Amino acid sequence: MKVLVGVAVAVIAVITVSALTLASVLLIDGKAQAVTGTDGGGGLRGVPAEFRPWILKADAACPEAEMTPALLASQLWAESKFKTSRKEATSGAGAQGPAQFIPGTWATWGVDADGNGEASPWDIGDAVMAQGRMMCSLLKQAKASGYGGDPRALALAGYNAGWGAVEQYRGVPPKSFARGETYGYVVEILADLPRFQGPGLLEVSGSGTGPDALRKASTRAGTPYSWGGGGPEGPSTGFCDGVNGYLDGKCSASITVGFDCSSLVQYAYWPKTKLPRVAAEQYGATSDRAVPRDALKPGDLLFWSHGGQGSIYHVAMYAGDGNVLHAPRTGRVIELQPLDRAMPQGDYFGATRP
């Protein structure tokens, strides 16, 4: 039985190109092999709060060592970007829900995991547990097949194209199969693994509006910064305004699914507290509840400005022990940092309590 290791968030490093390279799929003689840098499989980051417990539960229920929470999370991202609405999570081929089950496959794997009286591919718990059971079975089948390559790659190919396609090619189907869909699916999921691998959730004590919002925001640790992206429903692509959103001279925000500093705060507090979208307006909406720096509590909002309320340019959430959780800037991810190093100290404007 696998053991899940809970690790408190330290400073989360930006995923580098070299890390992605380590997690990429190497194709040798038409068969996929993966070389991966990993933290042991126990950590999980960058997933919505409502998905996290089910991903961990599905992983814990599978005895196959190759199964990890990050593998399930990366697969869900490839399948649906964690979307759950019928409009956004229905494919042209009729696949349904966050784990994209077609009705025939759902009939085999779907059960009422969340106990609401209905087995539905639209229910997060039902979908993730079914995904986990199917992937666990495919991993076992892959290891017993005798085919070369990474069992995870074989299992993912079986999930996408059916195990018959894996048998046909005695490995991951090549680019010539199904216009490269299955090949690309396997490559994408294994390459994205570092994005979802630990450390785990920030440990937040207490209850109430602030701590609850901080817990919710911490489930997005590791999610990329995207200028203008994100909102109450989760991450999204952003935009560039002539000054912001660029990386290496290109508009990064328009192709990056993530949050910026204020959308992360809005997401964290929504729907209990419906804060405005931008940092200056968030300060205006909460400034009547100012908090001295020596009285900060988890979930309090901290603001930085170039001079006055109208020039506020950044907001972060106090995470305790002199740290903040925030989305710093383009090219970075949502991370924990010491308050004194999060932004220029001279720009610190004040704190409020929503």
Of 108, 87, 107, whose CA–CA distance to 97 is shortest? 87
Residues of the chain with CATH 1.10.530.10: 17-196
Q: Does 1.20.1260.10 match the CATH number of domain 17-196?
A: no
Q: Contact, 225 vs 259, CB < 8 A?
A: yes
Q: For residue 8, how many other CB atoms are within 10 A of its CB?
A: 10
Fold of 209-352: endopeptidase fold (from Nostoc punctiforme) (3.90.1720)
Q: What's the confidence (pLDDT) of residue 222?
A: 83
Q: Contact, 101 vs 159, CB < 8 A?
A: no
Of 7, 302, 60, 31, whose CA–CA distance to 146 is shortest? 31
Q: What's the confidence (pLDDT) of residue 200?
A: 55
Three-state DSSP at 221 gives coil
Residue 96 DSSP code: B
Q: What's the confidence (pLDDT) of residue 198?
A: 72
pTM: 0.61
In sequence order, the β-bridge partners of residue 230 are none
Residues of the chain with CATH 3.90.1720.10: 209-352
- Which portions of the chain are predicted below pLDDT 70? 1-43, 199-201
Q: What's the confidence (pLDDT) of residue 68?
A: 92
